[in-house]
Amino acid sequence: MDGRLRCSLLAAVAVAVVLPAVGCSSLKQDTSTNLPNATLPASAQQASNGGWFSQKKPAYGPPPGEQPQMRVAGAPKRDFKPETFSAFADAELEMAYDESARPDLDRDALLDVSRRKFQEALKKDPKNKTAMLGLAKLYTWANDRDRAMQLYQDAIRSHPQDKDIPWACARSMVRFEDWTGANKACDQALAIDPENRTVMKAKGYFLARMNKWDDAFSSLLHVMPESEARTFLGRTLVGLGRKQEGMQQLQLAVAKDPNNELAANLLAQVSDTGGGAAPTNTDLQQTGAVQRQPIQ
């Protein structure tokens, strides 16, 4: 009895092992023969065409040979270039003096934030032109003349062949009505770029404000015809309250060029009203020497 039972068990094991292998083989053969791929479900088609199961699983993480970048506790934050600090600082400076952006802003707080960013940029690069000019503009707008001028002079020494720096200094001095200093800064810019028409025209205005009218006229002749130069001087004189001298220059301008409508109109305006032909800084604005005036 035990022998027969043992034989029955062995036979059962053999059937269990052999039949699945035979069944899978015949099933695979029947599937490929009797069922074309077009009738298989999409999932089965992908499997039979070497789809999902024939591909390697996607690798997640860094490429082979690279270590994953992990944030270590206490590690320093990513650093910024001086130009980036300066860009942020300049945006905050503009906002500080733009009351239309936010009427209730704390200007002093914004100026402090802007100043610290400019100073941080200068710690990284003490000769960074963008940061030096940005901080000088901040001090100019804050009416801190001494610090502004010191920064401009430091920038000129650090970049002696950059004409933009003395020109920026001249424009800053306009805010303080330092015509002598502005004229000197123009000379520094012209020493680098002698044919700069914008600087030459501004120099003519600064000389006029210094009551050096002949020198102003000579400077203006480098960038405009005589009739226009006399119109420029005449309007400046009238704007400064020197009516008779201004009218004389306007008359000379019309005599030189009868088609100078601007001079003729200004002359008629002054003669009829007895008042000024234009605000004091009209010609200054035309020179390009006026920085955007911040809201006070």
The tens digit of pLDDT for each residue in 66-107 reads 444 444 444 445 555 665 655 655 565 565 566 655 555 677
Average pLDDT over every residue of 124-130: 90
pLDDT of residue 12: 52
Asked if pLDDT for residue 290 goes beyond 50, the answer is: yes
Q: Which has the higher per-residue pLDDT, 288 or 261?
A: 261
Q: Which region holds residue 193: left if phi is over 0, alpha if psi is between -120 and 50, else beta?
A: beta
What are the backbone dihedrals phi and psi of residue 120, each rounded to the nearest 5 degrees, phi first? -65, -40
Residue 276 pLDDT > 70: no
For residues 157 and 188, the answer to whether their CB atoms sit within 8 Å is no
pTM of the model: 0.62
Of 50-64, 82-96, 184-198, which has the strongest mean pLDDT? 184-198
SS3 281: coil
28 vs 101, higher pLDDT: 101
Residues 6+ apart with CB under 8 A from 238: 246, 247, 250, 266, 270, 276, 277, 278
- Average pLDDT (125-132) is 90
Tokens of 131: 């940061």
Where exactly are the structural domains of the chain?
Answer: 79-147, 224-288
Given a cut of 80, is residue 185 above it in pLDDT? yes
Rounded Cα distance between 93 and 188, Å, is: 27
pLDDT at 114: 82
Is 105 or 160 the better-scoring residue by pLDDT?
160
**Contact 174/289 with Cβ under 8 angstroms?**
yes
Dist. CA 268–CA 132, nearest whole Å: 47
SS3 70: coil
> How many whole angstroms separate alpha carbon 281 and alpha carbon 240?
9
Q: Which fold has domain 79-147?
A: 1.25.40
What's the CA gap between 45 and 142, in Å, rounded?
A: 75
3 state DSSP class of 210:
coil
Count other C-beta atoms under 10 Å from residue 157's C-beta.
Answer: 10
Q: Beta-strand (E) ranges in the chain?
A: none
Q: Where are the alpha helices (DSSP H) in 221-295?
A: 226-239, 243-256, 261-273, 282-287
> For residues 210 and 202, is the Cβ–Cβ distance under 8 A?
no
Residues contacting 199, CB < 8 A, separation 6+: 163, 167, 170, 186, 189, 190, 193
Q: Report the percentage of the chain scoring pLDDT > 90.
A: 43
Q: Give 261's pLDDT tier (boundaries 50, 70, 90).
A: very high
Burial of 62 (0-12, 13-18, 19+ CB in 10 A): exposed
**Quick one: tokens of 168?**
């920026």
Mean pLDDT of the chain: 74
